Structure 1
Amino acid sequence: MNTDTFALTPRLTLRLHRESDLDRLVAIHSHPGVARYLLEDPWTQEAGKAQLERRLRRSGLADPAGALALVIEREGSLIGTVSLWRTEQEPRTVEVGWTLDPEHGGKGYASEAVTTSLRIAFEHQDVHRVLAQMDARNTASARLATRVGMRQEAHHRQDYWSKGEWTDSLIFAMLADERPSQS
């Protein structure tokens, strides 16, 4: 296992970001089907460099950044990302977010990566709750959150101004005593 590898699943490697990930990250985050649901505009090379710099510093929930940004690899190819970060309101609450290259969708890779990231979050004994917030139009992410055992707690109507329109937000969460079992 490489020193930047955080977790291995039967089909995936979750590892820290590398400088060499830039082009694949930009390709995924500039894809219209992905960028539509993200808070920021589709990535350019310049925006991707800035995002990658931030992600390179996010190497653990216990670190000063209080965040862990991981790449999802399948057979050595970067197919997505999953991130965990402590919320400002409550340090024992962690938020999770993910992106996946649409070409790799529908094969269970995102479920595998998110389930593993939930286990990573709950390995920190002080993490009580993990939540995921998403654009309500992103039905694939909502199904994923449900599939990994998160419970929908809220549907906020037109609560976020995004890319020229009001959008709804969904909030899913899981408590430590609901954590995924090892399989």
Structure 2
Amino acid sequence: MFELVEPIKTERLVLRPFAARDEEDMLEFESREDVARYLFNEPRTREDNARELAVRLGQTALRKEKDTLMTAVELDGKVIGYVLLVWLSEEHRQGEFGYVLHPGFHGKGYATEAAAEMLRIGFEKLSLHRIIGRCDPRNGGSAKVMERLGLRKEAHFVESEIFKGEWGGELHYAVLAAEWRAQHETA
């Protein structure tokens, strides 16, 4: 079990539970077509955004299988995205992580810095054995983040599902706890 009670501070960012005050910052990136392009949702309206924020307010702990930890990524007091960790299987000690960042903040290493904390929580706090990440094959930036974090590409599913009205694929990446530890013992 893991509950986020204190914000996590990285070199440049603060990861913390979402708060009601984040609604405008969240809408700023969640309403963008270029953000929703590779996500299952469409760009969020103000009403959609408010409903999603209400859900995120309760996603502060991983107590049991299928729970999601969702943290706001804050830079200098502004929410610029989010990172998440889903506890997929307690028995098999599996998790999945993900991230979304405002395009205005791409290319600066923020997604890598924030996502590394989700991996750390999964391996060090939940004792997960394996964590996966998935992305659309057209989303080269997301694939590069996972590679920088030390995940290995395990699969490329080609035209495996209808996604937003067209055939879409999916890249699957993964890292094992032993691999994560080996990467961070030498760092």
| TM-score, scaled relative to structure 1 | 0.91
Q: Which amino acid counterpart does residue 171 of structure 1 have in structure 2?
A: H
1:181 corresponds to 2:184:
yes
Q: Which runs of no fewer than 5 residues in structure 1 stay unpaired?
A: none
| 1:62 Cα deviation after fit | 2.1
CA spacing shift, 1:107–1:127, aligned 2, 3 Å: same
**Given the two structures, how large is their TM-score scaled by the length of structure 2?**
0.89
TM-aligned CA distance change 1:171 to 1:89, over 3 Å: farther
Q: Could you say which residue in structure 1 is the equivalent of 2:101?
A: 100
CA pair 64-175 structure 1, distance change in 2 beyond 3 A: closer
- Matched residues in 2 for 1:26 and 1:90: separation? 37
- The answer to whether the Cα contact below 8 Å between 2:83 and 2:114 also exists between their aligned partners in 1 is yes
Task: Check the 8 A contact 2:33/2:42 in 1, yes or no.
Answer: no
For these two proteins, the number of residue pairs brought into alignment is: 181
Partner of 1:25: 26
Alignment correspondent of 1:75: 76
Q: Contact 1:58–1:65 (CA<8 Å) still a contact in 2?
A: no
Which consecutive aligned stretches of 4+ in structure 1 deviate over 6 angstroms post-superposition? none
* Aligned twin of 1:149: 150
Deviates most, 154-163 or 173-182: 173-182
Cα distance, 1:106–1:68 mapped onto 2, change above 3 Å: same
User: Who is 2:52 aligned against?
Assistant: 51
CA offset digits 1:105-156 (Å, max 9, x no partner): 1111111001121111112343111111111111100011001111111000
Identity of aligned residues (%): 36
In structure 2, C-alpha distance between the alignment counterparts of 1:37 and 1:90, rounded to whole Å: 30
Provide the rounded CA distance (Å) in 1 between the counterparts of 2:163 and 2:13.
32
Q: Which stretch of structure 1 is more off in the superposition, 3-12 or 71-80? A: 3-12
Q: Which amino acid aligns with 2:154?
A: E
Q: Does 1:87 align with 2:106?
A: no
Change (3 A) 1:46 1:64: farther
Helix, strand or coil at the partner of 1:84: strand
Cα distance in 1 between the residues matched to 2:61 and 2:7: 10
Q: Deviations over 1:148-182 (max 9, x none)?
A: 11111100011122211111100111111122527
What CA RMSD, in Å, does the superposition of the two structures yield over aligned residues? 2.0
Please give the secondary structure, in 2, of the residue aligned with 1:181: helix
Structure 2 unpaired stretches of 5+:
none
Secondary structure of 2:50's match?
Answer: helix
